Structure 1
Amino acid sequence: MQLQPKQRSKLDPSDDTQFYTSPRFVTHVDESFIDQLTNLYRERLKPHTRILDMMSSWVSHLPDEMEFAHVEGHGMNEEELARNPQLDHYFIHDLNQNPQFPLSDQNFDAVLNAVSIQYLQYPEAVFAEIHRILKPGGVVIVSFSNRMFFEKAIAAWRENTESGRIELVKDYFRAVDGFSEPEAISRQSSIPTFLQMLGGGGSDPFYAVIAQRI
């Protein structure tokens, strides 16, 4: 799979560094989504392992009772990352300017991406990097809902359906040799999206795509 140039485009093409200059100390999904994500981490992550929380913020949603050998944070706003109590270390890096991580090969047991995958303009290159830094058998968990900064999401995401976005993330994994066949978790809201936007209640849908480095 290779995205076309138009599919990588954003409504706001300005420098992402400017967009993320001011910290946002909010959660971008509801409590139901967060609880499901933490439970998924509890089920799929192992204690005393090395974790990369990519495109992170001031919260990582890792289970409080689990101890990890190291949690590395990556993001775009230093104030947010500095506030995150679950990170042992963090670094700032714009993956849309340079999709290569400044990290060594086979250094992590798990890579996490929560509600941020929609902003990557070169996901094929980034997923190749994820594969590079993962240890054999390491797991990748990509979670998302139907919320986004619309002007910063790529066209391939904005113009897709929710089920289509699941398939898109699967294709990101399939674009790289050496990942297992991706597994999808789909828990849709009982309330239609347009009613949620009008304040009609209902919890955020929960989606996750998971694969391992073979």
Structure 2
Amino acid sequence: MSDQPADPPFEDAHFRRADESDDANFYVEARLVTHIDDAAIGALREHYSKFLPKQGRLLDLMSSWVSHYPDDLESERVAGLGMNADELAENPQLTEWVVHDLNADPVLPYGDGEFDVVTIAVSVQYLTRPLEVFREIGRVLRPGGGCIVSFSNRCFPTKAVWLWQGMGDDGHVQMVGAYFHYSGAFDPPQWHDISPAKGRSDPMYVVQSRTPAE
């Protein structure tokens, strides 16, 4: 990933949205649909199979009714944090869940070092306070714990932040990398193009990093 300037290049205007109404109202109705196609889901699940521990403590951030984790995981704990109780209750991979609006309150309701891996799937474009959220992710991860952020080119356009909507795929990779970098909580991030079939399926990208080991 390219070098980052010394100071965060973000302005408040970058994180405004066409619809600034309460996010809780937008997510009040359950959407039991997937937001990427089956091939992209398969690519993400395969990527997770390489990086998620078979047994461990996982946090699916900005979660819903499906986490796209491999079926053979035997995790001792899979916590989900999202915006709709009905969606979270339908997710068979979660062992626990909580409704929490990260744009209203970026502080995660968990203790320090509780998780081995945190994931955010196709939702990072909706964060209006991303650096605060990424600092919190670093706090709840154990030393050397990982964070995997995946995204495509789909979104709810009225709720995605302006900066995201003004960029293409390469810009999105750099943007998420900057979230890791300027949070001050992670080692230099790595990115992966896991798009399953260029031009025939949804593109799929991953940016991931780890907290410094002790």
TM-score (norm 2): 0.93
Taking only the aligned residue pairs, the percentage that are identical comes to 43
User: SS at the partner of 1:55?
Assistant: strand
* Alignment pair present for 1:108 and 2:115: yes
Partner in structure 1 of residue 198 of structure 2: 190
Partner in structure 2 of residue 194 of structure 1: none
Measured on the aligned residues, the alpha-carbon RMSD in Å equals 1.0
Deviations 1:138-178 (A, max 9, x none): 11000000000011000110111110010000000001223
Partner in structure 1 of residue 170 of structure 2: 163
Bigger mean CA offset, 158-167 vs 173-182? 173-182
Distance apart, 1:47 and its partner CA: 1.7
Q: 1:5 & 1:177 partners in 2: Cα distance?
A: 19
Partner in structure 1 of residue 74 of structure 2: 67
TM-score (norm 1): 0.93
Do the aligned partners of 2:44 and 2:194 also contact (CA within 8 Å) in 1?
no
Q: 1:177 aligns with which of 169, 184, 199?
A: 184
**How many residues are treated as equivalent by the alignment?**
204
Partner in structure 1 of residue 209 of structure 2: 211
Q: Which runs of 4+ in 1 moved over 6 A?
A: none
* Alignment pair present for 1:141 and 2:139: no
Deviations 1:62-87 (A, max 9, x none): 11111001000000000000000000
* Alignment pair present for 1:93 and 2:96: no
Q: Which runs of 5+ in 2 are unaligned?
A: 1-7
Q: 1:184 & 1:106 partners in 2: Cα distance?
A: 24
Q: Which runs of 5+ in 1 are unaligned?
A: 192-201
Do the aligned partners of 1:131 and 1:213 also contact (CA within 8 Å) in 2?
yes
Do the aligned partners of 1:47 and 1:69 also contact (CA within 8 Å) in 2?
no
Distance apart, 1:179 and its partner CA: 0.9
